Amino acid sequence: MAYLNDERFNREFATLIDSVESNRDFVQSLGDQIVLNNIFAAFRHAVLGTKHPGFHEEREWRIIYSPSFQKSDRIISTIVSINGTPQSICKLPLKDVPEEGLTGLSLPKLIDRVIIGPSKFPVGIYDALLALLTDAGVENPVSKLIVSDLPLRQ
């Protein structure tokens, strides 16, 4: 995540434009489709991966997955019913695949802390997450759970 205000976002965007312009010959050698794909990817990641600096404490990670653009064998798509509405969801198995250099994904290694809320039901969520983290083998899960004191927006 990039935690940027408008001014900082504009500076980062200007840096990107300057880099493209100063490497014009190389960029042109890539071909129109590759350049278009990369510009689209940069804009997509900027939109999906930028938050206000006020959220910097979260140090959030996001997994951006768009199977219509780039499908992965690692991510499992399935249909589930949530509150009676069928929805397509994607699941990422949280397990290491060391033979492919993919490590640090198992829950005990991955979880540093979990911020709960703002929510109407923080105690219920806390209890459920505590049970899930315990079952997953996370060491000292109580120390990893933090209930946010931010007010719930209505």
Q: What is the pLDDT of residues 29-75, one digit of tens each?
A: 999 999 999 999 899 989 998 988 888 877 777 888 888 888 888 89
Contact 73, 104 (CB under 8 A): no
Residues 51 and 10 occupy one common structural domain: yes
Residues 127 and 152 occupy one common structural domain: yes
Residues 75 and 44 occupy one common structural domain: no
Residues 104 and 74 occupy one common structural domain: no
Residues 104 and 86 occupy one common structural domain: no
Domain count, the chain: 3
Which tokens belong to 54?
């006020």
Q: 94-126 burial string, b = 16+ CB within 10 Å, else e? A: eeeeeeeeeeeeeeeeebeebebbeeeebeebb
Give the range among 4-13, 54-63, 77-86, 91-100 with minimum mean pLDDT: 54-63
Residues 6 and 18 occupy one common structural domain: yes
What average pLDDT does the structure give for the chain?
A: 90
Residues 39 and 80 occupy one common structural domain: no
Residues 87 and 108 occupy one common structural domain: no
Half-sphere exposure at residue 61, Cβ-oriented, CA atoms within 13 angstroms:
7
Residues 107 and 148 occupy one common structural domain: yes
Say which DSSP state 94 is in: -
Which tokens belong to 6?
């408008």
- Residue 43: which of 16, 19, 25, 70 has the closest Cα? 16
- The three-state secondary structure class of 127 is helix
Residues 102 and 71 occupy one common structural domain: no
The pLDDT of residue 36: 94
Residues 98 and 81 occupy one common structural domain: no
The pLDDT of residue 146: 93
- The three-state secondary structure class of 69 is coil
pLDDT at 18 over 90: yes
Q: Show the domain range for 143.
A: 94-154
Strand partners, 143: none
Q: How far apart are CA 87 and CA 110, in angstroms?
A: 27
Provide φ and ψ at 75, rounded to 5°: -100, 130
